[in-house]
Each structure stands twice: as C-alpha cells, then as structure tokens.
Amino acid sequence: MTLDIEQLGGFILHRLGRILKMHWLLFAMVMLLSIAGVFFINSAVYSAYLSDHEYFKGAAMNQARWIGIGLVAYFFFLMIDYRILPKFGLPMLLIACLLVVYTQLTQHKVNGARSWLPIPGTGVTLQPAELVKISYICALTQVLIFLRPRIKRLSTICIVGVMGAIPFFLVLQAPDLGSASVLVPTTLLALWGAGARKRYLMLPILGLAAIFAFCYFYIHKEGKHLPFLKTYQENRIRIFFDPTLDRKDAGWTITQSLIDEGSGGLLGKGYMKGDQNIYGFLPKNIAYNDFIFSVIAEEEGFVGGSLVIISEAVLLLCVITIAFHATDFEGVVLACAFVGMLLTHFFVNVGMTMKVVPITGIPLPFISYGGTFMVACMAGMGIVQSIWIERQRRPIA
Amino acid sequence: MLTRDPFVEIRRRLTWLALGVVGAAVLLVWNLYKIQIQEGGKYTASIRSQTSVSILLPPPRGIIYDRNGVALAENKASIDLDVYFRELLGYYKRSHKGGLPMIDVQTSHNKISRRIDVDKILNETSSDLFHMLNLQPTFTRQELLRHHYQTPNVPFVLVRNLDFTTLSIFEEKNPNIPGIEETVRPTRYYPYGALACHILGYVGHPEEKPDEDEYRPDIVGKDGIEKTFDDELQGEPGRKVLRRNQLGDILGEEGHVDPHSGDFIYLTIDARIQFIVQRVLQKVGRGAAIVMDPHNGDILAMASVPDFDPNEFVPEIDPKKWKELVTDPTRPLFDRAISAYAPGSIYKPIIALAALENTNLNPRFTASTIFNCPGSIYMANREWKDWNPNGEGEIPLKMGLAMSCNTFFYQLGALTGIDSMADMARRIGIGERVLDRKGDRVILPGEMPGVLACPEWLEEQGKKKIEAWKKKHAEDPKKYPYKTMPYVEQWSLGHTLNTSIGQGYVAVTPLHMAMMTSAIANGGTVFDPRLVLGTSEEVEDPETGEIQNKKLTGFDTIARSEKIASSPETLQAVREGMLAVVEEGTGKRAAVPGVKVAGKTGTAQFKTTIEGHLVTDLRTWFTGFAPYDDPQYVVTVLVEGGTSGGGTCGPLASEIFSAIFEMKNMEKNGQPYPMTYLTPVAGYFGGVQESPPTTGLSLLPTTPPAEDTSGDQPTATTDENAADSRFDKPSTTAPYHNVRGLRR
C-alpha cells in the first residue's frame, strides 16, 4: 500500500478536528479536578516533619506528570472511533488479568498488597488492577453487544455475572477488595444502560443489602466470625460500625478523618494550614490518595468540600448527558459503565472519609494521587468524548 | 417491553441514573454538612484533646500570719518524684515491642475489668531506681492502678519530699526513664510546730470521690482556720498547655498560666504572746489559756493543752499516729479554750454586776452594802456551806469578791434574782458562740456556746425531754409507758443559789470569761472576740510588675450595744473587788512584782469517769487583767484537775503576765523575742482525786490537798452540767424534784 501523504495528512487533520467538537464542560471539569488535585496533593503531603516531607516531596510534581500522560491518552481515545474498543475488549481484559496474576506471582507486598508492577527501564510502577477496570468495561460492552437480543433475559445477567466473577476474584487475591468491588456497580450500571430487566438487576442489589444487613447484625451486633474473611477485613467491617472499638489502631483512620473534616468548619483552615494533617494525625501515606478528601474538607471547609462533590457530580452528569446523545448501543453501554466506575470511586472514596461506607482503598477520580488510575480515567473520558463527537455522524439506530 | 420504543426507555433509564448521581451527591454534601457544620464543634474539641495536654501547676497555699506579720503557717518546697503514665507506658511499649501487660481488676460495681498493669510496668522500669536511691514505695498497688485509671494525665507521686542527699544521687545517676521526673511542689509547713495548733488546725488530702474528675486540690484544710478559710487559702492552680503530635512527643508550650497563690490570713494572735502562753502551759496536763486585748476584744493568744504538731499531718498523717491522737483519753485534738466548763467562783463578778445594775432592788445594792457571811447559811430548806467553815463575818462586796465568799453570794444571788443574773450573763455572750459572727462565718469549728442557766432554758430542756420521750413512747408504748415520762425540772431558789456561785447548770468557755474580764477592765464595753484581722491577696502591679499586698476583707471590731455597767461607780466596785482578790484574797499567787494585777479565782466541782471509776476532776480558773490602772492585757487560765483556782491557775497567770511585760520591755529596747519550735505537750490526768465514797481500790495517786487553802471549794455537790457532755459523765443523779428533802 502506498503511503498517500495527502490522505494521511487529511486523516490526521480530520482526527485533530474532532478535538474542537468535544464536550467542553466535561473537559473543563476534568481539568479543573485534576489541577485542583495537584494542589491538594501538594498540601496533603506537606508535613511538619522533615523526614515525612522528604519522602513525599515530589508527589505533586509526579501527579502533574501523570496528568500529562493522561492527557495524551485522553486525546488519543478522543480521536479514535470508540467502536473499535469493544471489538478488542476481551483480549484487553485477558492481558490485564494476566498482568494482575503476574504481579501477584512475582511482586512482594507493598502496604500489605501485591498491587504494583514496575515497568523495567523506567522508575515507574503500574497498577494492573486499574487497567483491569478499563479493559473490563470494554470487554463487558463487547459481551453485551453479543447478548443484546437476549438482553431482557435472566440468562444474560448470569452470563455477565460469571464473566465478571473471574476478574473480580483475580483482583481480590491481591488482596484488593476495593478495586474488585468496583467491578460490581460498573457491571450493574452497564446492564442498566443496556436495557436488562429491572427486576433482575434488583437481585444483586438485594444481595448486597443482605450482605450489609448480615454484616451489621451478625458481625457487629453479635460479634461472630466469618471463616473466609481475613481478620483485617472483618475488623474493617466492625470498625465501620463503631470506630471507637479501636481508636488507636484500625479505627484511628476514620476517627482522624472525621475530626479533620469536622474541624474544618465552613471555610476550612486554609490552604496548607490543616494542622491535623500537618502534624501527622492523618497518616501521610493515605492523606494524599485515599483520604485526600479529608484534607480538602479540613483545609477548604464545607465550601471547598461541597464544591469538589458538586464538580464530580457535574462531571458524571456530563457523561450521562453524553450517554443521552449516544447514537448506538455500545455508546450507551460504555458511557453507563464509566458512570458506574467513576460514581463508585467517587461515592465510596468521599463516603468512607465520612463514615458513610466502610473503608476501602479506592481513589477519588482525578484528585487522588495515583498515576495509573489517572491515566485510566483520562482514557475513559477520552472514550466518552469520542462517543459525544460521533453523535451526529450516524442517525439514531 | 418489545413494543416500547427502546430509545425512550433508554432516556428514562438515563434520567433515573442522573437522579441517582444527584442523589448520591446530595447525600455526600449533606453528610459533610452534618460533620462540618452541625457537629463541627465536637470535632474541633477532639483536636484540642488530641493535640494538647495540660498540666496543672499547683498553687501555693495562702500564708497565715500573726498580727505582726510572723508566718505561722507557710509553704516550703517539697521535691517529689512523679511518674507521668503516658510517657512511661510509651517507653515500655517501645522497648517491649508493643505489648502492655494487663491485669484483671475488681471494680466498685463488682465487675472484673481488664486494665493495664501499671504496677508491673512501674516495677520493671523503676525498681532499680528505687533501690539506688534507697527508697521504699509508700503507695499501694491499688492506689497506683486507680490513679492511672481515673486520672491518667495527672502525674502520680512516687516519693514525696526527697531529702537533699537522695536528690543529689538522683540528679547524678539519673537513669533517664521517660516519665519519671522530679517535681517541685509547695507543701504546708508550720515553722513553730505546735504554736497555735488548735487555732490553725491542720491539712490533709481531700476525701476520695471517685466520680469527680475535675481538678481536686491535693491539700485541703481539715480543722481550724485552715478549714474555715480553706476557700481563700486554696488559690488558683496554674496551667501549662503543651502541644504534642500523634506520637505523644511534646512539641512545645502553647500556653502558660502562672498559679495564683492563696489569700493570706492575718490573725489577731501575737506569736510572741502565744509562745509565752504555750510555754507556761507546758507544765499543765489538761487546760487552756487566753490572752485578750481589753480595748477591742482581739485575741492575742489562745492555747489549749494537750496539743499536737500540725507538721505531722503534712502531707499525710501516719495512720498509727492518727489513731494515737484520736484515742488518747486526754484528747489532744480538742480545743479546750472554746469548750464549755462549769465556771465556779469566777462567775461571781457577773452576780455582782447584775446586783449593782439592778434598779428594781429596794434598797439598791451598792459597793458599801454589808452582808453577814457565816460559814453556812440556811436557805431553800437546806444548808448551803461556804468553803471557809468559819465564814467571813460582815463584809461588803469588795471582800466578798476578794475572799470568794459563797455565803455572800448566795444571799446576793437570792436578792438579785435569776432573771437579772441571766440578763447580765447574756450581755457577756454566755449561751452563744461568740466567735461566730451572727451566722456570717464560723471561725473555729467546735466552738461551744456554753449554757445560760435560767428558768427559760430549763423549761426548754424539759420540753425537749418530753418531746423525745413522746417519740419513744409512740414507737414502743410497752417499753416506754406513761410512768417513765421524765420529770420536768422547775427552776427554784436552789437553782438560783447554785448559779450564784457558778455551779449548777451554768457552763462557760474560757473565751466568755476573757470577754467578761475585758469588759470589766475597759470600763464596761463588751467586745466580740476577734481572731481574724482580715485577708489579703497578692497582686501584681500591672505596670511595675511588683508584687503587692492588697487587702481584701477585714473583720471589724464589734462592740456589743449593751454595757455591763451603766455608771463608772458600779464598775469600780467590782474592779476594786478584783484588785483585792490578788492583793489580799484568794488570788495572791497571781500577783506580779511591780505590777498591779486584778482578777478572780474559781474552783468548780466536776466528776470524770476514768477507766470506769468516778473521780473528782476540779475545774480550776483564774481570770484577771493588768496593769490595774490602765489595763493592757486580760489573761484567763483554766486547768482541768487542778487543786484550786488560786493555787493552780493563779501562779500560771502571774507567769504569763510577767513574761508578757518582759517581752514588751525587750521590744521597747529593740530586742527581738526568741521563739523556738514547739513540740506537742502530752496530756495527763493530773490532779484528779478518787471521788469518795467509792469501793476500795484507788488506781490513781491521790494528790494531797494543797497547804495553801487560798482557793475556794464549793460545798454543794451539784448536778453535772449538760454542757460538759463530751466527757464521760456519770449518769444523771436522781432528778431534782420539787421535793423538800435533803440534798447532799
């Protein structure tokens, strides 16, 4: 095939032109949150202690770099036609799962989990679990496209459930209950968008409610043990219901988080002035990712905290709007799946700092420190933008 | 459904999804609101408790001074060894890889509770230290555990008052165990030991109240001025607020408030006179003495023996010593100067004053009225004896007082009548607490009012008895039938006659007698005795930073409105009589060379039970003033178990007067009066005599009667006063019916 410069040039220009058609509000929200995130991370790692300070000093810059890489991914996926992705969904998922398994087999535990895979040649580590989330969405879409005629049937749900169970358990082995459990709401919302029967979707929800009730009555009230839950996971459940059980240890984090947020008041203590954070009451290793919201609430107060919540919500509503305007089945499903993923991260992350949900280690989209996740989210937003841009290309199917 | 437009369905679903997102956001915002705005205060408060630790700095207790600024109760620095639990436990944890030994403790609600075994930790970390310093722990494991549980942030005192040697060793070889530190604390110190101990009182730890967790002062007053003025003496604790991080390390001091010393109390006591009095009383087994300024009622000295050393109570009295003090039959903790006793003959001036003032008598009784005084007199259907069997013959008031003639006063009393005598006694304050400023404040707990014997009082007593009986009868009619109803005594001439010589139901405190004597000395004005001059507070001048004394409250001199004599002539008669007591009468041994002393002796009959035996235990008195022409001092002395007023108390008063005048001379010459640490006087039952007739054995050595019979001895045996009820007294003798009969 001869390389036709003109055709290539036209093709590239055409693709670049898509940038102009993107959903500007979504882009604004993404950038707003990301940049704010950098500042918050900078404040979160600031510490009165030199040793801590040294260790975490470069965090903000690192995050900025990841944003840069993320933006590359964002624009890339924006420029391509999103319909390619479901075609490669399952293979992508397979690769991601293999990476996860590889990580677990070869890496040693960091902070109690084998979740990081160093890329040889660079000093960078990757989190395969985050890649699983993205590739799972694509794979799920692929499967749902296949199952579309039978979407209303219970069997669809079961097949999807089985399919999702595999990455779920694989990630769970890390152990990373948080990331694994993100897959569940993602799946549910994808099914919702795909048109599965409501009553069938209620089953897993009821199941979750039952688990919650079980946790409450059996574990919290009666104090019995479950054989398959690890102690610390069980403790997490107990501590959720009553952080005072172990104020000094496991309950420490949530107690501190509440104190941090509560003492922030209406306007907060000011940027870089959150004394709970500075003095290390909120452990540094979580202050800049999982509990970044505590720092935000402490320093920027109710005003700042609400703004962040509202911004994330607006971002999600943008994605839903895009789903509204999607022109085909896969567009809707992909968009809904991303809503599911982001909403879960958002709600659980903020909620756990407020004792609304138990503590799970999942990051706040675009704000928490974490390179792989940032790139994954950016990529996701790029895909969603692609859906938006395509909306006028084809008639409604 | 299949018929439905899928696009519409998608739209509907997406709308629901959008609503879900909004709902989630609202939920989060609302929770944030709840935490930050509604409950924000709670969390901010948590920060304070996490990040700051406050240490209380104990305030020095206010100093109690005498009228000249001599400190009677002050503070000195005590260097203690404290343990701060948090630091110690942190240290232990770090060196033992996180585990803390636990122990099961029985709590007050009979539950078993798991607590940190602080005792074991302390033992492990500090037993070497204790060994090196050669110290024995004085606390129990219980105390340690309880202190840690209740007030873990308050340091626990391991050893108090380290002496210099031990302290040096500690400083030099300090093993630097985190949490074990030396602290300087103020402790109460009485520089003169037992000087004015009953007035000052003593201090100790407050009662254990396990539920309170507010600041409780380490030391509170338990008796005397230390107790009644405890609020003023306490002062304000200071506080040091330290900032710490989550590991517990102290980062710096956030705030510092200096402790504020307690208020200073100024007493009317003159320490030198108090010292003189206590030295003189050292030879007395049980007694009291008061020196008063007749011009204003200020108490210059007030002492009681046996006494105690308040330093022994600081910081905590040895339980053995406490038991000794409390079970000692001579009662060293008891302040005799403010307790009620039968006055005996020193009550006679009151009779004289009452008679002289009584305008209803016809003819009026004057200084020149003569009574015939035989050795005994027949009145109220029986014989009333004088102490002198020969009588005194025909004598005026002056000689009646001088020789303390009973028969004179029987007649005078009968003439004047009990109402007149009771009124005069009331003017002097007998029957009420005179240091208690009309309910304003009780200056000395334990002050007794005495008994104002009069018909109204007797009626009151009778009513009370009937009431009490009625109650018992109502509860158990079988055990208390009507025939057990007590007789109500009616006042009779016999009561009056007894009262005339200061026996019967009359009871007075040495303080009352000092008041009476002061009034006679100063021309007739009765002053309420004043023990406390006032209080003052140390304030820092905001401009110069200088410490000044700011007077807070003063207690005024209070003169009673009713005088004891309406004209100088009436008073003069009594004064002349009292001068004659010392110059030629029963009080010769109270004389001081070169100084004219006037006064009155008294010997009151009383019986005490010692080890089951009823013994005679005379109450001997002397009260007087000097110099006669311009009285400066009033001295009242009481001795339990003395031989006679003139024989026992007279010489003591003389010594006191001499020493005071000598001291004043030294003062004039600019010489300071030497005062030393006073050790407690031990009490003994001297001077008691086996009371006849009793069965055989005499367990106590009987003292032979004094050769000098210049004292008086009442012949009428009496009913024991209800007021002297604290001592074991014999059961009431047969009630004094209105029966004409022999009374012996």
**What's the whole-number average pLDDT of chain B?**
81
Alpha carbon distances (Å) from B542 to A193, A291, B238, B260, B547? 77, 50, 18, 15, 9
B688 or B596, which is more confident? B596
Which tokens belong to A206? Answer: 């009821």
Give residue B719's pLDDT band: very low, low, confident or very high (50, 70, 90): very low
Within 10 Å of residue B133's Cβ, how many Cβ atoms? 18
> Average pLDDT in the A268-281 region?
70
Q: Is B9 on the interface with A (CB under 8 A)?
A: yes
The DSSP secondary-structure symbol of A242 reads -
Give residue B271's pLDDT band: very low, low, confident or very high (50, 70, 90): very high
Query: Which residues on chain B are in Cβ contact (under 8 Å) with A153?
Result: none
Q: Are the Cβ atoms of A261 and B27 closer than 8 angstroms?
A: no
Checking if the pLDDT of A99 tops 70, the result is yes
> In percent, how much of chain B has pLDDT > 90?
36
Number of inter-chain CB pairs under 8 A, A vs B: 117
Give residue B247's pLDDT band: very low, low, confident or very high (50, 70, 90): low
**Shortest Cα distance from A29 to chain B (angstroms)?**
16
Query: What's the rounded Cα separation, in Å, for the pair A122 and A128?
Result: 16
Which tokens belong to B660? Answer: 């005071």
pLDDT tens column, B258-268: 888 889 999 99
8 A C-beta contact, residue B409 and residue B431: no
**What's the whole-number average pLDDT of chain A?**
81
pLDDT at B136: 74
Q: Is B30 on the interface with A (CB under 8 A)?
A: no
8 A C-beta contact, residue B226 and residue B189: no
Q: Is A84 on the interface with B (CB under 8 A)?
A: no
pLDDT tens column, B154-197: 778 888 778 888 888 887 877 777 778 777 777 889 999 999 99
Q: Are the Cβ atoms of A265 and B40 closer than 8 angstroms?
A: yes
Give pTM, 2 decimals: 0.62
pLDDT tens column, B107-159: 666 667 777 787 888 887 777 777 777 777 777 777 787 777 766 667 788 88
Alpha carbon distances (Å) from A265 to B38, B47, B175? 9, 13, 46
Within 10 Å of residue A242's Cβ, how many Cβ atoms? 10
B162 or B299, which is more confident? B299
Give residue B739's pLDDT band: very low, low, confident or very high (50, 70, 90): very low
Lowest mean pLDDT among A235-239, A299-303, B77-81: A235-239
pLDDT at B162: 80
Give residue B729's pLDDT band: very low, low, confident or very high (50, 70, 90): very low
pLDDT at B743: 32
Q: HEC profile for B559-598?
A: ECCCCCCCCHHHHHHHHHHHHHHHHCCCCHHHCECCECCE
pLDDT tens column, B466-488: 888 888 888 888 887 777 788 88
pLDDT at B18: 92
pLDDT at B99: 65
Checking if the pLDDT of B726 tops 70, the result is no
Q: What is the DSSP string of A275-318?
A: HHHHTTSS-HHHHTTTTHHHHHHHHHHHHHHHHHHHHHHHHHHH
Q: Which amino acid is at B149?
A: Y
3 state SS of A201: helix
pLDDT at B445: 83
Checking if the pLDDT of A20 tops 90, the result is no
pLDDT at B537: 85
8 A C-beta contact, residue B428 and residue B519: yes
Query: What's the rounded Cα separation, in Å, for the pair A186 and A344?
Result: 8
Lowest mean pLDDT among B140-154, B341-355, B577-591: B140-154
Residues in chain B: 744
If we measure between CA atoms, which residue out of A184, A234, A177, A87 comes closest to residue A361?
A177
Query: Which residues on chain A are in Cβ contact (under 8 Å) with B24?
Result: 313, 343, 346-347
Checking if the pLDDT of B57 tops 70, the result is yes
Burial class of B254 by CB neighbour count within 10 A (0 to 12, 13 to 18, 19+): middle
Query: What's the rounded Cα separation, in Å, for the pair A364 and A287?
Result: 12
Q: Which of A195, A260, A351 sits opposite B28 (nearest CB)?
A: A351
Alpha carbon distances (Å) from B149 to B102, B105, B115, B116, B300? 13, 11, 8, 9, 49
pLDDT at B184: 79
pLDDT at A68: 92
Query: Which residues on chain B are in Cβ contact (under 8 Å) with A339?
Result: 17, 21
pLDDT at B589: 92
